[in-house]
Structure 1
Amino acid sequence: MGNKLAVITGASTGIGLELARIAAQEGYDLILVADEPQIRTVVDEFRKYDVAVDSVEADLSGVEGVDRLLSATAGRSIDILIANAGIGTGGPFLEQDVAAWRHSVDTNVTGTVYLLQKVLQDMVARGEGRVLVTGSIAGYIPGAFNAIYNATKSFINYFTEALRNELKDSDGVTITTLMPGATDTAFFARAGMLDTELGQDDDKADPAKVAQDGWSAMMDGKGHIVSGVSNKLQVAMSGIVPQSILAEMHRGMAELGSGKDEAL
């Protein structure tokens, strides 16, 4: 029998790349996907593992990009799907380009939902498969100055919870939601949030630790995992503190200029 197949989106950097490393170490063949050319060079580091590795550069904000990813499986069953692709859009919403925030919504929500539907249809038919979806604790907090991203992660958190309930009688198929907090990845640079308290926080989580938390929870068949003790406290607080106060707190962390003065 050949190796099982893991498909990982958003795999060029950060949590996705760390999850790919774990999957390779565990003996899974890989299809690594991202919307940037870097994904084609990332595969070189996986040559040391006794697994087959392929890369797909695809924009997962629409049906066409997801279909391109699925066609790369060449008919192989997907044993593990890690839906990790996501885009942040920091700054005042009214100043954001429509194309930019729409691309974030379509990548984080539309493309992810379509990918989950297509892959889970096959997994349920086979009665076997594991899915890990990257949500975020941001989905529990009104994200002033990162409003689109937090709202999309709220969708993902609740969508996957609903989906788990719909599929609770599908033996052999599990869906796990990984909910990290601020993590030391390229997210803040890409979202234009380096000059913020969040962007300059020196205590961001290690993406390798977050990835291991997510992988372990997925393999244990858990419904969700909040990575990090402080993040668990933030999620608990979100159910108690008024939403307006949470939004103001997020503003203090995400508004441009809230970071430390470089001259100090």
Structure 2
Amino acid sequence: MSQGQFAVVTGASTGIGLELARCCARAGFDLLIAADEPAIETAAEELRGHGGKVDAVDADLSTTEGVDRLYAATKGRRVDALLANAGVGLGHAFLDQDFNRVRRVIDTNITGTVYLIHRVGNDMRRSNAGCILITGSIAGFMPGSFQAVYNGSKAFLDSFSFALREELRVTGVTVTCLMPGATETEFFRRADMMDTSVGTAKKDDAAGDAKAGFEAMMSGKGDIVTGIKNKIQSAVANVLPAGVLARQHRKMAEPGTAKS
């Protein structure tokens, strides 16, 4: 990858997003990274150690104003790669959840992501070049009892990425969907799921997930499910009835299922 190409990575302060940004930095991309917390500046300092130009934006990407702020920070520079990774989770039964938090999941995972892709994607289509990576999830393959809104949001992103890829098939723009499983990040703590089986179980490595997603994006692949266990889970989810999947998910995500 030649020097001077430009990547935008969202949700890049920790976890898979930070690892994706590291992949871009190592490949010689200049970076614009974003998250809704001051830790994004710490991430930027580390990433500058790879030698490229790195700018950071602390913005709430659940809002159109936050997305507009991020887009403005590109300063009109052509985006060669957009890694749309920002997302939040939420555990517990839907009717017990605070609706403001429910709304934030939808606005961050779906509305903000779609708006950002609409803005940057139009620029890419006009220049007939660019790569888009969307962080979906194998959670999108199954009804998420006690994660109902989160899994629904990932089902949307998984579907949206395949549809958008087909629409752009005759252009120079590629769309790749990264679909990891449970990964060792801050996700489960922030989603109030540390009293669940999935929250306390051994998880995949964020660096490995990011590397697989980055390589799939750079090669123009349509999708990548990371890890053999996740590949099996996704295959099984395609054949089991939705009701069975929902009951299985309950065993992983219902509060109080954590193993002592």
Structural mapping, 1:63-78, within 5 Å: 63-78=64-79
Aligned length: 259
Q: Distance in 2 between matches of 1:212 and 1:49?
A: 16
| C-alpha deviation, 1:120, in angstroms | 0.8
The residue that corresponds to 1:26 in the other structure is 27
Q: Distance in 1 between matches of 2:168 and 2:23?
A: 26
Matching of residue 113 in structure 1 with residue 139 in structure 2: no
The residue that corresponds to 1:176 in the other structure is 176
Contact 2:92 2:147 in 1 (8 A): yes
Q: Distance in 1 between matches of 2:236 and 2:48?
A: 44
| C-alpha deviation, 1:235, in angstroms | 1.0
Q: Distance in 1 between matches of 2:109 and 2:250?
A: 22
Per-residue displacement from partner, 1:164-191 (whole Å, max 9, x unpaired)? Answer: 1111111x21000000000000000000
Tell me which amino acid in the other structure corresponds to 2:46.
E
| Percent identical | 53
Please state whether the residue corresponding to 2:7 is helix, strand or coil. Answer: strand
Q: Distance in 2 between matches of 1:180 and 1:200?
A: 17
CA RMSD of aligned residues (A): 1.0
Tell me which amino acid in the other structure corresponds to 2:81.
I
Q: Distance in 1 between matches of 2:3 and 2:243?
A: 53
Structural mapping, 1:131-210, within 5 Å: 131-170=132-171, 172-202=172-202, 204-210=203-209
Per-residue displacement from partner, 1:19-62 (whole Å, max 9, x unpaired)? Answer: 11111111111111001111112211123221111110111112
Q: Distance in 1 between matches of 2:238 and 2:49?
A: 46
Q: Distance in 2 between matches of 1:92 and 1:55?
A: 35
The residue that corresponds to 2:93 in the other structure is 92
Q: Distance in 1 between matches of 2:49 and 2:105?
A: 34
| C-alpha deviation, 1:2, in angstroms | 6.1
Q: Distance in 1 between matches of 2:48 and 2:126?
A: 33
Per-residue displacement from partner, 1:106-148 (whole Å, max 9, x unpaired)? Answer: 1000000011111110001101100100000000010000111
- Using structure 2 for the length normalisation, give the TM-score: 0.98
Contact 2:3 2:29 in 1 (8 A): no
Contact 2:8 2:82 in 1 (8 A): yes
